[in-house]
């Protein structure tokens, strides 16, 4: 069955609202660029040629791209936690690739955002999300299933300022990034997406998770998962939640973003 994306113009190149809660979602070069973030994607992977990209885009029209690994559409509600939601989406996609969709542990976007935001509506830097995902990790979502597995070391999806459960960092360590890279240009961003490596970007004061490279009207475009709940067009297993950026928007997002390839190895017996 074809997995070609039918693009709904209503969700093409969306101009995100310039609310205060999103103003810090845009990417900035981190202060400690020479330490944790001196890990450039161009040093780890060669860019694909235009012909290679076109061939992969055609193949993904038949088989699907990284959107097939999405297991939930996040909803940040009225909080400025877009960076936390984009980061949580990225980690869940990497889980699905490594362990299968049926083994994905739903994650709490707020457990990431609360580590990097100043308040419910302050927003946060994408670079801070990468640092936190690499060094501390993220907690499972507060569900009955997760409580049965992780006890009290779970966190809600929204609600800034909740107290941290005892020993939460030991659980969060199981949901850290192992292999990750900073993307600084368009050709490497497109190449990462062609390899089904999700990318967290910041643009227009908002943060989203790029998932799939598209060839649309003789130009490149990118499918992304948003964090506004029942918004957007359908893709993968969902009939809502996604938008599409054309090349001008993608270029604006490619100056500094981050891509993930793997998570830390889970303990024995941890599916």
Whether residue 75 has pLDDT greater than 60:
yes
pLDDT tens figures, 181-199: 999 999 999 999 999 999 9
Is residue 95, in this structure, part of any structural domain at all?
yes
Tens of pLDDT, residues 99-123: 999 999 999 999 999 999 999 988 8
When mean pLDDT is compared across 15-19, 30-34, 174-178, 188-192, the lowest value belongs to 30-34
Asked whether residue 267 is assigned to any structural domain, the reply reads no
User: What's the pLDDT at 216?
Assistant: 86
Which domain does 238 fall in, by range?
9-262
Q: Looking at the domain assignment, is residue 270 inside a domain? A: no
Q: Quick one: which of 238, 4, 222, 196 has its CA closest to 97?
A: 196
Report the CATH number at residue 256. Answer: 3.90.70.10
Rg (CA), the chain: 17
The pair of structure tokens assigned to 40 is 């450039």
Answer whether residue 136 is part of any domain.
Answer: yes
- pLDDT more than 90, % of the chain: 82
Say if residue 63 is exposed, middle or buried (CB neighbours under 10 Å; 0-12, 13-18, 19+).
exposed
Which run of H or of E encompasses 91?
helix 82-99
Give the total number of structural domains in the chain.
1
DSSP 208: E
In a domain, 169, yes or no: yes
* Residue 232 is assigned to a structural domain of this protein: yes
User: Judging by beta carbons within 10 Å of its beta carbon (0-12, 13-18, 19+), is residue 77 exposed, middle or buried?
Assistant: middle
Which residue in 22, 19, 66, 33 sits closest to 256, CA to CA?
33
Per-residue pLDDT band for 34 (boundaries 50, 70, 90) equals low
Q: Which residue has the higher pLDDT, 32 or 246?
A: 246
Q: DSSP string spanning 145-175?
A: HHHHHHTT--B-SS-TTPPPPTTHHHHHGGG
In a domain, 53, yes or no: yes
Inside any domain, residue 19? yes
């Amino acid at each position: 069955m074809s997995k070609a994306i039918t693009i709904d113009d209503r969700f093409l190149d969306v101009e995100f609202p310039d609310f205060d809660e999103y103003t810090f979602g845009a990417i900035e070069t981190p202060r400690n660029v020479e330490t944790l973030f001196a890990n450039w994607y161009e040093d780890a992977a060669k860019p694909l040629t235009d012909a290679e990209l076109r061939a992969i885009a055609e193949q993904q029209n038949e088989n699907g791209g990284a959107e097939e690994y999405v297991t939930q559409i996040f909803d940040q509600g009225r909080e400025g936690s877009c960076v936390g939601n984009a980061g949580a989406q990225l980690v869940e996609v990497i889980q699905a690739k490594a362990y299968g969709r049926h083994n994905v542990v739903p994650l709490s976007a707020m457990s990431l955002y609360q580590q990097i935001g100043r308040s419910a509506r302050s927003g946060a830097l994408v670079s801070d999300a990468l640092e936190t995902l690499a060094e501390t990790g993220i907690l499972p979502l507060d569900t009955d299933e997760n409580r049965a597995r992780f006890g009290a070391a779970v966190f809600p999806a929204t609600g800034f300022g909740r107290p941290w459960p005892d020993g939460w960092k030991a659980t969060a360590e199981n949901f850290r990034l192992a292999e990750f890279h900073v993307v600084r240009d368009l050709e490497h961003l497109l190449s990462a997406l062609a390899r089904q490596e999700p990318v967290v970007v910041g643009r227009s004061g908002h943060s989203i998770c790029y998932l799939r490279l598209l060839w649309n009207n003789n130009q490149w475009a990118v499918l992304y998962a948003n964090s506004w709940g029942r918004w957007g067009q359908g893709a993968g297993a969902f009939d809502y939640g996604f938008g599409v950026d054309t090349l001008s928007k993608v270029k604006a997002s490619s100056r500094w973003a981050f891509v993930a390839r793997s998570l830390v190895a889970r303990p024995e017996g941890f599916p």
